[in-house]
Amino acid sequence: MAITMKGKDLVSIHDLSREETEQILDTAHILKMKHKLGEIYHPLKGKALGMIFQKSSTRTRVSFEVGMWQLGGYALFLGANDLQLNRGETIADTARNLSRYLDGIMIRTFAHQDVIELAESSSVPVINGLTDLLHPCQVLADLFTIREKKNNLIGLKLAYIGDGNNMAHSLMFGGAKMGMHIVICSPSGFEPDPEVTRLSKLDAAKSGATITIKNDPAEAVQAADVIYTDVWTSMGMETEYEQRLKTFSRFQVNGALLEKAKEDVLVMHCLPAHRGEEITDEVIDGPHSIVFDQAENRLHVQKAIMALIM
Query: What pLDDT tens digit does each residue of the chain (310 aa) get?
Result: 578 999 999 999 999 999 999 999 999 999 999 999 999 999 999 999 999 999 989 999 999 999 999 999 999 999 978 887 767 889 999 999 999 999 999 999 999 999 999 999 999 999 999 999 999 999 999 999 999 999 999 999 999 999 999 999 999 999 999 999 999 999 999 999 999 999 999 999 999 999 999 999 999 999 999 999 999 988 778 888 999 999 999 999 999 999 999 999 999 999 999 999 999 999 999 999 999 999 999 999 999 999 999 9
The phi-psi region of residue 276 (left if phi > 0; otherwise alpha if psi is between -120 and 50; otherwise beta) is left
**Which residues of the chain are in CATH 3.40.50.1370 domains?**
13-134+298-309, 138-295
Active site residues: 108, 135, 138, 230, 270, 298
The matching CATH number, chosen from 3.30.230.10, 3.30.70.270, 3.40.50.1370, 3.40.50.720, for 138-295 is 3.40.50.1370
Please state, in angstroms and rounded to a whole number, the distance separating the CA atoms of residues 232 and 43. Answer: 39
Please state, in angstroms and rounded to a whole number, the distance separating the CA atoms of residues 17 and 8. Answer: 12
CATH fold of the domain at 13-134+298-309:
Rossmann fold (3.40.50)
Q: Which amino acid is at 176?
A: A
What DSSP element (H or E) covers 2? none
What DSSP element (H or E) covers 298? helix 291-309
Q: Is the pTM of this model over 0.85?
A: yes
Buried b (16+ CB within 10 A) or exposed e, 136-164: bbbbbbbbbbbbbbeeebeebbbbbbbbb
